[in-house]
Every structure is written in structure tokens, then in C-alpha cells.
Amino acid sequence: MTTNTNLNLRAEVKDLSFSYGPKKVLNRVSMPIYENRITALIGPSGCGKTTLLRCFNRMHDLYAATNYDGEILLHPEKRNVLARDVDPMEVRMRIGMVFQKPNPFPKSIFENVAYGLRVRGVRKRSFIEDRVEKSLQQAGLWSEVKDRLPSPATALSGGQQQRLCIARALATEPEILLLDEPTSALDPISTTHIEELITELKKDWTIVIVTHNLHQASRTADYTAFMYLGDLIEFDTSDKLFTTPRDPRTENYITGRFG
Amino acid sequence: MKERFIEAILFLAATSSVFVTFGIVWILVKESIPFFAHVPLGEFLTGTEWTPLFENARFGILPLLCGTLLSTAIALSVAIPLGTVAAAFLSEYTKPWLREILKPILELLAAVPTVVYGYFALLFVTPLLQKIHPDLGGFNVLSAGLVMGMMIVPYVSSLSEDAMRSVPGHLKEGSFALGASRFQTIFRVVIPTAFSGMTSAYILAISRALGETMVVSIAAGMQPNLTANPLEPAATITAFIVQVSMGDLPHGSIGYQSIYVAGLTLLFLTLCFNVLGLWLRQKYQEKE
Ligand SMILES: Nc1ncnc2c1ncn2[C@@H]1O[C@H](COP(=O)(O)OP(=O)(O)O)[C@@H](O)[C@H]1O
Ligand SMILES: [Mg+2]
């Protein structure tokens, strides 16, 4: 594994194992997450990408019989978000997530973006309005929706809904943004749109993205982790991983020989 | 040939409830027409006394309407909050095994004969209320309404829970991922999303409360009384119907006809609330 000492770490996964009941899904995974960089998780379906991503914001805590072992340290204070005494809600306040399928709430466009602020008890109207506008701008959606903020979010197209979900996650200024195959339910044009957006976002955000689209990973991600059957096989800069993979399994996967 | 036969049977089954409804409406209307030949509609709608069996009979529906709406309002103010909270608890907080135990117990509330609830109100709840408020009479709308509310909790909770459980998991996860608590997720995402389904539960509860007979007959006193004070006795439309039909009224007398008029009024009232429910439902569905 290459560690880059010139970059700031935003988080660090250390010896992370995870199981759904008796079924072990992650095996001692370790990897760095660099600040203002995009890190992609790739690997064949079922290898544990989603599972790993959902460890970062403790989504697994919502369900019974899920077990973490190991650490995810959030820098700079190196706090282990998986520690028992850490409230999952607090973690989710700091780490945002966008899901595979766009999931806007059946509320107005405005209220969707304002949701995270509202649950944090923010009341000040002008503050919320400013933040909603800023987030929609960052998500590249502002010009399309600025005249219809009170209309239902569910009336937007799939691509717009996904950008709305990104805006919704950005509104609370999370320290890390998790994206789980954010374009897998979208058409090619919306996909390109979101990819451009993600590249744009890395100026201000640290992003971890799961994708099964290798071109997407090589185009957008600075770092890529290849996972296979719950193991992290290889982690490197995308350039190196896609041109000169060190592990034969990585090579087989990126050349399309399995998966 | 066989197909046609089955189709016909299915068609009959599907339409039978429509026929029954029309039959009921027809009989109610038919018996009400002669009534309105005696009593002007204006007097019926605005009269403040309902004494159809007295020498000097008066036919103002307001006291009965008032008793009905008051007891229904009290019942709903118990059933809707309790039923909604119970539904939220069952669908969002309990483990599946606990839900399997709690649900049937809750639904048992609806299986208790209403006469039992009536005496429960009269002999248990009223004395209890008298401890707090000693001036309270033995018959009052409050006690009847409260017990009626308890009785219809399962009607609200059962349908509301179904509606809440059908809220897609990815919406709830979306809320949790933004840092919301379970409570916030329920009140800000689950309930608003399930609301159009929950209105059916509320409408059913309203219809059930409007039509409830036993509890109010036993515990509220059967005295047509134009008052909005729940501490006083009152009669509802249904209680009046029971009271009168237990006596022997000559067929075709005005007292006899007044039963049908009361029935028609109740049907109309129920219809109004159902239309309101439908409208609410549509309004909330549009928002989604
Ligand atoms: N809730 C769950 N309960 C049990 N097993 C699960 C659950 N979710 C995923 N799995 C299993 O965990 C493995 C990894 O799944 P996942 O993380 O979704 O993979 P990926 O996102 O890489 O396709 C798979 O074998 C999958 O069947
Ligand atoms: Mg996945």
C-alpha cells in the first residue's frame, strides 16, 4: 500500500472487519482517505463495497446483528467513529451520504435541502435560505429549480433528483461525502453531469465513491481501492492502479476477465 | 360459458354492496318524505328541541347532531393521538417478535362487545371522573366519548401502521443519513409520507365513532340536550334510534318516521366526512 505523505489524511480505515450476523463480509480492511480527493471503491458485485461505505456513517447500526471490528479514525482528532461510546447520529452529522437510487423525501425541493439543517434545530430563516441556495448551486441544480423551490421534489427527473440528494447532503457541510453508485440508476447524460459535478466538488470536499463503472473510477477518482470477496486487494492512485496493477486479481478485474 | 357464469357471479359479488347501499338510502328517503310533509325542513335543521314522542312534539335535529359531534370529537381526540403513536411505535420501534405479540392484543380492543364498553364507561370511568370533578352527573358525554375513543384506537393504529410500514426503507435511511433521530424520522418523513394512507384510518375511526350506539346509549344519558359541554348528558342520533325503536311506535306515525330521518341525517354526516377524507387524501397524494 502506498501512503502519500504530502497529503492530509481525512480519515483512516484500520483493520476493519464487518459481519452481518454470522456472515463475514469485510476482512481486515485498511486504507487512507485523503482530504479533498476522490477515493473510489471498485470490485465485483457482492465484494463488500456498499458494506464498507456504510461503515463510515454507521448506517449498519440501524439494523440488528451487525458487528464492526477495527477502526475508522476521523482526522484531525483521530476519533474512532466505530467506538461504542460514539453516537451514530453524531457521526452522520459529520459524514454525508448519497444513495444508489435517488431518494428525495415527498416534500418540496426547498424542504429537501433544508432537512439536515432542520433536524439540527436550525431555525433562522435567512440562514436556511442562503444555505439551500448555496447547496443547490454547488450541486449544479440552482438554475433549473430556483423558480420552483416550493414544488414537490418527486416531480424532478431522475438525474435532477440525484443532484438534489447531493445538495441535501452538502447543505450541512459534512466532512466527508459518501456516494454509493450514484449514477447506476441514471441515463448517460445525467451520469456525465454527475461525474462532472463530483470532480468539481472535490475542491471543497473529501469524497468516497462506490462504483462498478471502471471508466467512472479512472476518470473521476484520484485514488482507487480494489476489493474482492471482502478483502482490500489493492489501493493506489487511480493512474497506477489502472495502468500498472500489482496484483493479478486487480489486473484480471480491470481488463474485464472476471466480475 | 363457464367463464361467463363465473364472471357474472363475481360481478354480482362486487356490486352487491352497491345494491345494499342504494337499498338503504332508498328506504331511508322513502320513509323520510312523509316526515318532511309534516315538519318543514327549516324547522328540522334549526330547531333546538328534539321531543318527537311528547304530546307537544318538536323536531329540531340540532340537539342530536350536537350530541353526536361532541361524543365523536371526544372519541377522536383520544383515538387519533393514541392510535397514531401506537402505530408509530409498532412500526418503527418494536422488534418483529414483540410486534407479533402486541398487535393482536391491541386488536382485541376492537373485539370486546360494545355493551361491555358502555358499562365500563358508566360504572368505572364516570366514577373515576367524579373523583376529579365531584359535580359530574352519572350520565355524561365525556365518559362515553373517552371510552369510545379507547375502543376505536385499533381502527386507527392498524391501518396507520400498515401505511407507515409501507414507507420505503430508502426514505427512512435518507433521513437517518442526514443525522436525524428515530423520532425526527418518524415525524418528519414517515408520517408525512404515510399521511394519505393514514387519512383512511382516520375516516374509518370517524365513521365508527359517528355510528357508535351502545356506549353512548348506556353512558351518556339519552337526553337530547343542545350543549357543547361534555360534562352534561346528551343523546346522539344513534342513541335516539335505539331508544325509540325499543318502544312500540305505530307504523307510519311521525315518531316512527323520525327514526328514518335521524338515520338519513347520520348517513349524510358520514358521507360528508368520507368526502372530506377523500379530498384530503388526494391533496396529500398530489404533494408526493
Ligand atoms: N443486510 C444484509 N444481510 C446479510 N448479508 C448482506 C446484507 N447486505 C449485504 N449482504 C452481503 O454482503 C456481501 C457484500 O454486499 P455489498 O456490500 O452490498 O456488496 P457490493 O456493494 O460490493 O455489491 C454480499 O455477499 C451480500 O450478499
Ligand atoms: Mg453495492
Q: Which pLDDT score, from 0 to 100, does residue B65 have?
A: 92
- Most B CBs within 10 A among A57, A98, A105, hence the mutation to make, goes to A105
**A3 — pLDDT class (breaks 50, 70, 90):** low
User: Nearest residue on chain B to A117, judged by CA atoms?
Assistant: B178
CATH (domain of B178): 1.10.3720.10
Selection from A222, A150, A156, A160 nearest residue A194 by Cα: A160
Ligand 1 in contact with A50 (CB < 6 A)? Answer: yes
Q: Which pLDDT score, from 0 to 100, does residue B243 have?
A: 86
Q: Name the pTM for this structure.
A: 0.86
Bridge partners of A228? A231
The answer to whether the CB atoms of A93 and B179 lie below 8 A apart is yes
Distance, in Å, from the CA atom of B69 to the CA atom of A43, rounded to the nearest integer, reads 64
Overall average pLDDT of the A111-127 stretch: 95
**Owning domain of residue B49:** 2-287
Answer with the residue of higher pLDDT: B230 or A178. A178
Give the other-Cβ count within 10 Å of B127's Cβ. Answer: 12
Coil, helix or strand for A18?
A: strand
Overall average pLDDT of the B125-147 stretch: 93
Residues 6+ apart with CB under 8 A from A124: none
The answer to whether the CB atoms of A57 and B177 lie below 8 A apart is yes
Which range, of A110-114, A139-143, B154-158, B252-256, averages the lowest pLDDT? B252-256
**A186 — pLDDT class (breaks 50, 70, 90):** confident
Answer with the residue of higher pLDDT: A78 or B222. A78
Can you read off the three cell numbers belonging to residue A29?
480492511
Shortest CA gap B107–chain A (Å): 27
Distance, in Å, from the CA atom of A49 to the CA atom of A212, rounded to the nearest integer, reads 9
Report how far Cα A93 is from the mean position of its chain's Cα atoms: 14
* CA angle at A14 for the pair A8 and A16, rounded to the nearest 5°: 140
Q: Which pLDDT score, from 0 to 100, does residue A258 have?
A: 62
Residues of B in contact with A92 (CB under 8 A): 176-179
- Residue-wise pLDDT tens digits, A10-63: 999 999 999 999 999 999 999 999 999 999 999 999 999 999 999 999 999 999
Q: With 80 as the cut, is the pLDDT of residue A259 above it?
A: no
Give the other-Cβ count within 10 Å of A23's Cβ. Answer: 9
Q: With 80 as the cut, is the pLDDT of residue B287 above it?
A: no
Selection from A182, A91, A180 nearest residue B177 by Cα: A91
Q: Considering only CB atoms, which residues of chain B are within 8 Å of chain A?
A: 95, 168, 170-171, 173-181, 184, 188-189, 192-193, 287-288
Residues of A in contact with B288 (CB under 8 A): 106, 152, 154
**B245 — pLDDT class (breaks 50, 70, 90):** confident
Task: Compare CB distances from A119 to B168, B180, B287 and report the shortest one's residue.
Answer: B180
Cβ distance A194 to A139 under 8 Å? no
Shortest CA gap A218–chain B (Å): 27
Residue B217's φ and ψ, nearest 5 degrees, are: -65, -40
Overall average pLDDT of the B24-47 stretch: 91
Cβ distance B174 to A100 under 8 Å? no
Q: With 70 as the cut, is the pLDDT of residue B286 above it?
A: no
Mean pLDDT of chain A: 93
Query: In chain B, what percentage of residues exceed pLDDT 70?
Result: 99
Cβ distance A79 to A86 under 8 Å? yes
Q: How many structural domains does chain B have?
A: 1
User: Nearest residue on chain B to A171, judged by CA atoms?
Assistant: B178
**B249 — pLDDT class (breaks 50, 70, 90):** confident
Q: Give chain B's end-to-end CA distance (angstroms, integer).
A: 45
- Residue-wise pLDDT tens digits, A128-175: 999 999 999 999 999 999 999 999 999 999 999 999 999 999 999 999
Distance, in Å, from the CA atom of B167 to the CA atom of A171, rounded to the nearest integer, reads 24
Q: With 80 as the cut, is the pLDDT of residue A101 above it?
A: yes
The length of chain A in residues reads: 259
Can you read off the three cell numbers belonging to residue A143?
438554475
User: Nearest residue on chain B to A54, judged by CA atoms?
Assistant: B177
Ligand 1 in contact with A45 (CB < 6 A)? Answer: yes
The answer to whether the CB atoms of B177 and A99 lie below 8 A apart is yes
AA identity, residue B2: K
- Residue-wise pLDDT tens digits, B190-211: 999 999 889 989 999 999 999 9
Ligand 1 in contact with A48 (CB < 6 A)? Answer: yes
CA of residue A210 to ligand 1 center, whole Å: 13
Break chain A into its structural domains and give their ranges.
9-254
- Most B CBs within 10 A among A103, A109, A168, A180, hence the mutation to make, goes to A103
Strand spans (E) along B11-131:
none
- Most B CBs within 10 A among A95, A107, A118, A119, hence the mutation to make, goes to A119
CATH class of the A9-254 domain in this structure: alpha beta
Q: Which pLDDT score, from 0 to 100, does residue B280 have?
A: 85
Coil, helix or strand for A51?
A: helix
Q: Which ligand is nearest to the CA of A23?
A: 1
Q: Which pLDDT score, from 0 to 100, does residue A2 have?
A: 55
- Cell 408520517 sits at which residue? B191
Distance, in Å, from the CA atom of A83 to the CA atom of B68, rounded to the nearest integer, reads 58
The answer to whether the CB atoms of A115 and B180 lie below 8 A apart is yes
Query: In chain A, what percentage of residues exceed pLDDT 90?
Result: 87
- Judged by a CB distance cut-off of 8 A, whether residue A92 touches chain B is yes
Largest CA distance in chain A: 56
Shortest CA gap A94–chain B (Å): 8
Q: Which whole-number Å values give the CA distances from A149 to A113, A131, A156, in the listed order?
A: 10, 13, 11
Distance, in Å, from the CA atom of B129 to the CA atom of B137, rounded to the nearest integer, reads 10
Distance, in Å, from the CA atom of A138 to the CA atom of A74, rounded to the nearest integer, reads 24
Residues 6+ apart with CB under 8 A from B270: B206, B207, B210, B211
- Residue-wise pLDDT tens digits, B59-91: 999 999 999 999 999 999 999 999 999 999 999
**Ligand 1: residue whose CA is nearest its atom 14:** A48
Q: Which pLDDT score, from 0 to 100, does residue B52 have?
A: 84
Answer with the residue of higher pLDDT: B2 or A103. A103
CA of residue A204 to ligand 2 center, whole Å: 26
Distance, in Å, from the CA atom of B237 to the CA atom of B69, rounded to the nearest integer, reads 10
Ligand 1 in contact with A193 (CB < 6 A)? Answer: no
Cβ distance A150 to A108 under 8 Å? yes
Cβ distance B51 to B60 under 8 Å? no
Reply yes or no: is the peptide bond before residue B224 cis, omega within 30 of 0.
no
Cβ distance B107 to B158 under 8 Å? yes
Ligand 1 in contact with A19 (CB < 6 A)? Answer: no
Selection from A47, A64, A59, A54 nearest residue A13 by Cα: A54
DSSP line for A101-150: S----SSBHHHHHHHHHHHTT---HHHHHHHHHHHHHHTT-HHHHTT-TT
Q: Give chain A's end-to-end CA distance (angstroms, integer).
A: 23
User: Nearest residue on chain B to A108, judged by CA atoms?
Assistant: B287
Q: With 70 as the cut, is the pLDDT of residue B221 above it?
A: yes
Selection from A172, A195, A165, A51 nearest residue A102 by Cα: A165
Mean pLDDT of chain B: 90
Q: Which pLDDT score, from 0 to 100, does residue B283 have?
A: 81
Cβ distance B121 to B146 under 8 Å? yes
Distance, in Å, from the CA atom of B102 to the CA atom of B87, rounded to the nearest integer, reads 11
Overall average pLDDT of the B1-20 stretch: 90
Q: Which pLDDT score, from 0 to 100, does residue A204 have?
A: 92
The answer to whether the CB atoms of A172 and B174 lie below 8 A apart is no
ipTM of predicted complex: 0.94
3-state secondary structure B16-28: HHHHHHHHHHHHH
Residues of B in contact with A168 (CB under 8 A): 174, 178
CA of residue A48 to ligand 1 center, whole Å: 6
Q: Which pLDDT score, from 0 to 100, does residue B282 have?
A: 84
Distance, in Å, from the CA atom of A247 to the CA atom of A115, rounded to the nearest integer, reads 44
AA identity, residue B86: A
